[in-house]
Structure 1
Amino acid sequence: MTLLDTDGVRLTVDDAIATVTLTNPAKRNAQTPALWRALIEAGRLLPGTVRVVVLRGEGRSFSAGLDRQAFTPEGFEGEPSFVDMGRGPEAELDATIAAYQEAFTWWRRNDIVSIAAVQGHAIGAGFQLALACDLRICADDAQFAMRETSLGLVPDLAGTHPLVSLVGYARALEICATGRFVHAEEAERTGLANLVVPAAELDATARDLAAALLAAPRDAVIETKALLRGASDRTFDEQRAAERAAQGRRLRDLAELAE
């Protein structure tokens, strides 16, 4: 069932699995503010039955990053250009970037597990979109790069936190400051990718992983994801307390079902 198909984004739902597809392969799924709004809408349209969301891109590249038109003086029609944004009031600039970031934040909701299936290029905003997901499966031709600093900018689409969490501060700084490519083998070795497979097997592997994630009871997965997401912000004793509270909720629920 197709729930959305607009501005380079298509959302389809098959029972408990949703698929969000970037649908502009001619431009290597370059990103625009309109695409970001479509991604936000996709998150809002997810039915409550959905437990797993697969994010993929049509064509040879997952997403080659921000559409270069954003860097022209005129920008996109109906959108503030980067020049206009930089000249505007600080509060307005902050609000505009915050609105863009919403497209990259809902993927980590506790009630879903999100999987990015990455092939070809994932550059800049494309890299950050892959980082927005809980898990990443990569084709063996995948190449990640954070090119913002070479343009005099910073990664601002919620990608820095997951990148540091995955590969550590020193490697994250080196990747971002140099803008170099991280190939699939390194991505898997450093924890950026969960799995690397031949390109022809990427979609099937994503489907298999989605099916495996559905095997456990939903509430147990939700509680476990919440525990793991919050672990780095808690002390050891705080995490122990969170585990006890979560297990207490699970045991009470199971006891009710047994009555």
Structure 2
Amino acid sequence: MTTEDVLLTADADGVRTLTLNRPKAYNSLTVELKERLLAALRAAAADDGVRAVVITGSGKAFCAGQDLKEHVGLLQAGDSAPLQTVSKHYNPIVRTIVEMPKPVIAAVNGPAAGAGAAFAYASDLRIAASSANFLMAFANVGLGPDSGASWSLQRLIGYGRAAELMLLARTVDADEALRLGLVGEVVPDEELAARAQKIAAKLANGPTVAYAKIKSTLSAAAESTLEEALAAEDAAQSALGATADHAEAVEAFVTKRKPVFQGK
């Protein structure tokens, strides 16, 4: 692996960390980076050895969103590929994050804008560095939201706030993001990587099969009636009750020891 790689991958304690690595361009998303990220997320989802995923950025930014320089250059060259990037890249990336059968943590190390911010919104947990901020700037360039932001952002902070941030294209700093519930925690910049790894490692040591069911039932309940949510919970509990992890947790409780989960 070289420093020229646009996406860096590191594994430790069951955690796979994916680092967007175009620091001079604020980790803006080129076709190459989008394709690499999508492939890496799919690989992490399919790898039983990966029990939690961290997404972060190198340098001073998390992700500035679409690389507009490449976008404009391709359009001027008569290439229509940029017009398909939402369906070809952004939608599959967000779908893979949301449907990942293991926890995904966004370690937001700096500014996150557009699709970059949407990737963080789609993650299960968001930890922000003090220097982080979030910007939905689509309206500034005459566009609407993409990358699932219309779906994820209002689930985090409510319709009214989501509309405000999108219509006014207003930057939200880390402290306000914490107040709004956009992130769960803000830490000093120099502590972010270690904090994200600690939380991810804790999750990786937990009952990951249960985490997958928690994610799926929450997603289902967000769009269902009470009866449908109750049915989904019942189905999930029935399946989880037969898992080795649940049996291990019960035995550990009875014998007064710490359970050792295997994600099975």
**One fold, TM greater than 0.5?**
yes
Q: Provide the alpha-carbon RMSD of the alignment.
A: 2.5
Distance, in Å, in 2 between the alignment partners of 1:210 and 1:76 is 43
User: Which of residues 83, 90, 98 is equivalent to 2:87?
Assistant: 98
Superposition deviation, residue 73 in structure 1: 5.2
Question: What is the match of residue 88 of structure 1?
Answer: none
Q: One-letter code of the match for 2:50?
A: V
Paired residues for 1:83-122 under 5 Å: 85=83, 93=84, 96-100=85-89, 101-122=91-112
Contact 1:164 1:172 in 2 (8 A): yes
1:74-98 CA distances to partner (integer Å, 9 max, x unpaired)? 449795365xx4xxxxxxx5xx431
Contact 1:7 1:38 in 2 (8 A): no
Paired residues for 1:1-259 under 5 Å: 8-14=6-12, 16-46=14-44, 47-70=47-70, 72=72, 74-75=74-75, 80=80, 85=83, 93=84, 96-100=85-89, 101-254=91-244
Contact 2:13 2:201 in 1 (8 A): no
The alpha-carbon distance between structure 1 residues 214 and 78, as it changes in their structure 2 partners (threshold 3 A), is farther
Residues matched between the structures, number:
245
Superposition deviation, residue 110 in structure 1: 4.4
Percent of aligned positions with the same letter in both sequences?
35
Superposition deviation, residue 109 in structure 1: 2.2
Distance, in Å, in 1 between the alignment partners of 2:243 and 2:5 is 42
Superposition deviation, residue 48 in structure 1: 2.1
Q: One-letter code of the match for 2:229?
A: Q
Q: Which runs of 5+ in 1 are unaligned?
A: 86-92
> TM-score, normalised to structure 2's length?
0.84
Contact 1:122 1:144 in 2 (8 A): yes
Q: Mean alpha-carbon deviation: is it higher for 47-56 or for 61-70?
A: 61-70
Contact 1:5 1:11 in 2 (8 A): no
Contact 2:52 2:104 in 1 (8 A): yes
Distance, in Å, in 2 between the alignment partners of 1:21 and 1:76 is 30
Contact 1:139 1:196 in 2 (8 A): yes
Q: One-letter code of the match for 1:190?
A: L
Q: Which runs of 5+ in 2 are unaligned?
A: 249-264
Contact 1:128 1:159 in 2 (8 A): yes
Contact 1:25 1:60 in 2 (8 A): yes
Match of 1:207, SS state, is helix
